[in-house]
Structure 1
Amino acid sequence: MKKMLDLALSPEVAFNEDAFTKHITQLLRITSTDQVTIRKLKRSIDARSRQIKVNVQAEVYVGEQAPLLLSYRKDFPNVHNAPQAIVVGGGPAGMFAALRLIELEIKPIVLERGKDVRSRRRDLAAITKHHTVNPDSNYCFGEGGAGTYSDGKLYTRSKKRGDVRRILEILVAHGATADILVDAHPHIGTNKLPGIVTELRESILNAGGEFHFDTKVTDVVLSNQEIKGVITEKGDKIEGLGVILATGHSARDIFELLHHRGIYIEAKPFAMGVRIEHPQPLIDRIQYHCENRGEYLPASSYALVAQVKHKGVEKGVFSFCMCPGGYIVPAATAPGEVVVNGMSPSRRDSKYANSGMVVAIDEDDMLPYQKFGPLAGLQMQKELEQRACHLAGGTQVAPAQVMSDFVQGKLSKELLPTSYQPGLQSVQMNEVLPENIAYRLKEGFKIFGQKMRGYLTDQAQIIGVESRTSSPVRIPRDKETLEHVQVKRLFPCAEGAGYAGGIVSAAMDGERCAEKLAAMYAGKKDVSYTSA
């Protein structure tokens, strides 16, 4: 017998496995002698009223064998001697592209400019402790990409681009908890992602693929508008069926290389602003309507958006990459710049909540940078990050201001405790941010203070700058083939190309690019898992 259940439960039951199992067995009058499998399908928190409920959808099998939890199996062909394709970038897009190529019997050659996930930790520690930025190994570059050490959120709205369940199952098969298959806003945690990333790499290597670290692509082999391969910083020429370019949103040298080589790119809208940090208990009180969220409710999150008019033009102000129970980290990719990002461990047990709070940037904002052509937004980013660094003292110390002081235009005499380990310097953020961004943030904070009573407070502070929300450049590709609009055998992929954002959507885009490359240049037909 199979039963489908839609339940509204207290947090104490929904998040406690023993209590949940007891509730189900009593509800269905199941005896201890029955063969039973209870499986959660979906779980989400409803905090709209003071009586918080958790909506759980579950399936229960009584007296019969339940189907396997995962349909995905790590059963790869050996591609050691197969035709090869090049994957530039070892983030989620690159790794999932490599796995899909293997399934399609193509050997992936993954080239990652940074270090393996374990060695990368030393470079992250050097940023925090010694303010030393390695341009090729940092929070943005290295095995696993930017997401590995900056959060691990798996929520995506890009369901039409591919099979979300398949991506999550692959992560579970490589060590992620099965909870990510259930929760409405799944999250792995930056403390667990390195192990999963290592397992993904091992699958690629065990199947005969290659993974090269400290291997920076500095040129492309281009002939008659067709890409033959790439050239590395060491002078090696690597050729293949095609190139999947999955370098992430901060690989500025790649954008500059393409522009220099006459490969068409274009400026793309993005967003910039600050990180804002509140005490997590304050956000919990606002969202959960209680003084203490207790043992079972997770650290609460929020999503905020407003439209703010400035000089007759209305633009969006919105929260971005909200990290409950998290930390703010230094995400610069070169000396002389300050960039901040947020992350959360799996337990989300920090005493701070942080979120990007950013303003939409479009071609009007980039007009002063017109002479840089398609790199206008990139130059705008650079100048903001360098100004933040200069005004805060020239290290990885970040400029900051108490939230209420920022809104009132006052320099903060004292800053608040923070999760940002390199330290903070009190600065008038008006001096860091362009006038249109600063004005819209101030007005946005006033609106958010009305939407979430207590959000606009002297218990929070803004920390700058949050400038790497997405790529400021798009590498255009054909909608059907995903191939570059000008250069054959080049497949711009995921965040760095301006087509995906976040781990899951990037992974799906990586798979799609692998499938298109295989279909067009290896004769693999009817291969798509991801055309849902």
Structure 2
Amino acid sequence: MKRSLVLSLPPREAYDERCFEGIVKKKLGLADLSDITIRIKRRSVDARSRKIKVNISLDVFADEPIPELISYQKDYPNVTSADPVIIVGMGPAGMFAALKLIENGIKPIIIERGKDVRSRRRDLAAINKEHIVNPNSNYCFGEGGAGTYSDGKLYTRSKKRGDVNRILEILVAHGAASDILFEAHPHIGTNKLPKVVAAMRESILTAGGEILFNTQVVDFIMGGDEINGVVTQEGEKITGAAVILATGHSSRDIYQLLDFRGIHIEAKPFALGVRVEHAQQLIDQIQYHCTQRGDYLPASSYALAHQVVEKDSGKRGVFSFCMCPGGFVVPAATAPGELVVNGMSPSRRDSRFANSGIVVAVNAIDFKAYEQHGPLAAMQFQKVVEQAAFKAGGNSQQAPAQRLVDFIDGRISGSLLETSYQPGLTSVKMHDVLPQFIARSLRTAFQAFGKKMKGYLTNEAQIIGVESRTSSPVTIPRDKDSCEHIQVKRLYPCGEGAGYAGGIVSAAMDGERCAEAFLQVYA
């Protein structure tokens, strides 16, 4: 017997397993049955009114075989002797492209400039404690990409790009918690992602794929209008049937190489701003309309957006980005002499702090002063701001910061608040660090956000700069149907670094799409 049910419950009844099971049995008249299986299909918190509800849709199975939780099976052929395809970068796009190739009998050779997930931790500790940035191993570069030591957010609006459920099932098959299959805003957590990434690496290697860590691509092997392989920093030439370029949004050396090689790339608008950090308890009070969220509700989040009207350039968007409830602000620079911040959360989201990027749209007119850099103009704009933040922080990874109301009023903060940012903060006037149009737009937007979320605009919050790696400042254009570069055959620009994704799931789907595109034409 299979029965379906939709419930709207108070938090305790929704999240306490024994209580929840009793309610389901009672609703369906199954109180006398001791053995039932409840399979949640969707769960979301509705905090729009003061009476918070958790909406749940589910199936109940009794006295019949229980279907498998996931349909995806790790049944990979051995591709040790198969013709190879080169994948540059081992973030979500690269890993999922590799598994898709293996499923279809193609051998992936993944080239990753950084280290494996475990070894990366030493370099992250060096950034936090000693302010030393390893340009090849940091929060952005290394096995799993930028997402591994981030929140592991899996929510995406890019459902037209591929099968979201397949991506989630592959993650579950490699050790992710099964609740990502039904939570409205699923996440894995920075403490659990490394194990999932390591399991995916093991699947690739066991099937006969190759992974080259600490290996940097410095040139391409070209044959007419086709790419035949890559050259590493050691001078090794690695050839393959195609190159999937999945380097992430911070591989500036790859953008420079493409430009030097005359391979068409384009400057791309992006967004830049700050991280704003509040006490998580304050965000809970605002969003849940209560003094304490209790033992059952998850740490609350928010999403904010505002259109700033400017005399010269019309409307400019300001919006929250990568909101991390119960999280930490982390240093995300990829080279010495620059300062970048990002956010992450552990799986339990139990930090005392909440942080979110609040970023401003940066358009072509804004980086016009850098047009001598051609398609690298936006990247150069981004770099200059990051260098200014580094200098403002005392030429270290201490981040420039300012209390929120002080920023609005244009005065330097006499003291700063406690922070989750381990390298520490330096009190500065952020208007002197940020480009004027960014600071001006942020000031207007924060005032608007204070009206939308009563209590948000407070001097018990602070902004930390700069949040500049929201997306790639470069697009590597490709054919809409074949996914090949518009100029170079067998070159597949892929994922966030090419401008075709914006998070773990969308990057993973784009990795699969590029692999499938190769298979349709060349396999």
Q: Deviations over 1:165-210 (max 9, x none)?
A: 0000000000000000010000000000000000000000000001
1:344 aligned residue: 345
2:390 aligned residue: 389
Q: How far, CA to CA, are the matches of 1:101 and 1:430 in structure 2?
A: 49
SS at match of 1:190: coil
1:503 to partner: Cα distance: 0.4
Q: Which stretch shows the higher mean deviation, 350-359 or 513-522?
A: 513-522
SS at match of 1:295: coil
SS at match of 1:3: strand
1:35 to partner: Cα distance: 4.6
Q: How far, CA to CA, are the matches of 1:501 and 1:265 in structure 2?
A: 18
Matches within 5 A, 1:119-518: 119-312=119-312, 313-518=314-519
Does the CA-based 8 Å contact 2:156-2:506 persist in structure 1?
A: yes
Does the CA-based 8 Å contact 1:315-1:360 persist in structure 2?
A: yes
Does the CA-based 8 Å contact 1:310-1:436 persist in structure 2?
A: no
| Percentage identity across paired residues of the two chains | 66
Supply the AA of the counterpart residue of 2:157: R
Does the CA-based 8 Å contact 2:151-2:344 persist in structure 1?
A: yes
1:491 to partner: Cα distance: 0.2
Equivalent residues, number: 522
Q: How far, CA to CA, are the matches of 1:518 and 1:84 in structure 2?
A: 12
Matches within 5 A, 1:87-126: 87-126=87-126
Q: How far, CA to CA, are the matches of 2:320 and 2:297 in structure 1?
A: 22
Q: How far, CA to CA, are the matches of 1:345 and 1:35 in structure 2?
A: 34
1:62 to partner: Cα distance: 2.2
SS at match of 1:364: helix
1:34 to partner: Cα distance: 5.8
Does the CA-based 8 Å contact 1:278-1:461 persist in structure 2?
A: yes
SS at match of 1:7: strand
1:353 to partner: Cα distance: 0.3
1:391 to partner: Cα distance: 1.3
1:32 to partner: Cα distance: 4.6
RMSD between aligned residues: 0.8
Mind listing any 5+ residue stretches in structure 1 that lack a counterpart? Answer: 523-532
Q: Which stretch shows the higher mean deviation, 61-70 or 29-38?
A: 29-38
- Runs in 1 of length 4+ with deviation above 6 angstroms? none
Supply the AA of the counterpart residue of 2:437: N
Q: How far, CA to CA, are the matches of 1:300 and 1:520 in structure 2?
A: 46
Q: How far, CA to CA, are the matches of 1:311 and 1:436 in structure 2?
A: 12
Q: How far, CA to CA, are the matches of 1:485 and 1:464 in structure 2?
A: 37
Mind listing any 5+ residue stretches in structure 2 that lack a counterpart? Answer: none
Could you tell me the TM-score, scaled by structure 1's length? Answer: 0.97
Q: How far, CA to CA, are the matches of 1:124 and 1:426 in structure 2?
A: 24
Q: How far, CA to CA, are the matches of 1:520 and 1:227 in structure 2?
A: 15
Q: How far, CA to CA, are the matches of 1:479 and 1:257 in structure 2?
A: 23
Q: How far, CA to CA, are the matches of 1:397 and 1:218 in structure 2?
A: 32
1:33 to partner: Cα distance: 4.2
Q: Which stretch shows the higher mean deviation, 411-420 or 15-24?
A: 15-24
Q: How far, CA to CA, are the matches of 1:358 and 1:490 in structure 2?
A: 32
Could you tell me the TM-score, scaled by structure 2's length? Answer: 0.99
1:291 to partner: Cα distance: 0.3
Does the CA-based 8 Å contact 1:269-1:361 persist in structure 2?
A: yes
Supply the AA of the counterpart residue of 1:81: S
Q: How far, CA to CA, are the matches of 1:94 and 1:496 in structure 2?
A: 11
Does the CA-based 8 Å contact 1:339-1:464 persist in structure 2?
A: yes
Q: Deviations over 1:381-422 (max 9, x none)?
A: 110000000111000000000000000000101011100000
Q: How far, CA to CA, are the matches of 2:252 and 2:203 in structure 1?
A: 30
Supply the AA of the counterpart residue of 1:188: I
Does the CA-based 8 Å contact 1:226-1:487 persist in structure 2?
A: yes
SS at match of 2:147: coil
1:530 aligned residue: none
Does the CA-based 8 Å contact 1:337-1:385 persist in structure 2?
A: yes
Change (3 A) 1:8 1:33: closer
Does the CA-based 8 Å contact 1:35-1:64 persist in structure 2?
A: no
1:31 to partner: Cα distance: 4.2
SS at match of 2:466: strand
Q: How far, CA to CA, are the matches of 2:233 and 2:20 in structure 1?
A: 56
1:66 to partner: Cα distance: 2.2
Supply the AA of the counterpart residue of 1:84: P
1:19 aligned residue: 19
Q: How far, CA to CA, are the matches of 1:416 and 1:34 in structure 2?
A: 53
1:37 to partner: Cα distance: 1.6
Does the CA-based 8 Å contact 2:22-2:31 persist in structure 1?
A: no
Q: How far, CA to CA, are the matches of 2:289 and 2:39 in structure 1?
A: 30
Q: How far, CA to CA, are the matches of 2:13 and 2:247 in structure 1?
A: 43
1:37 aligned residue: 37
Q: Deviations over 1:454-493 (max 9, x none)?
A: 1000110000000000000000000001000000000000
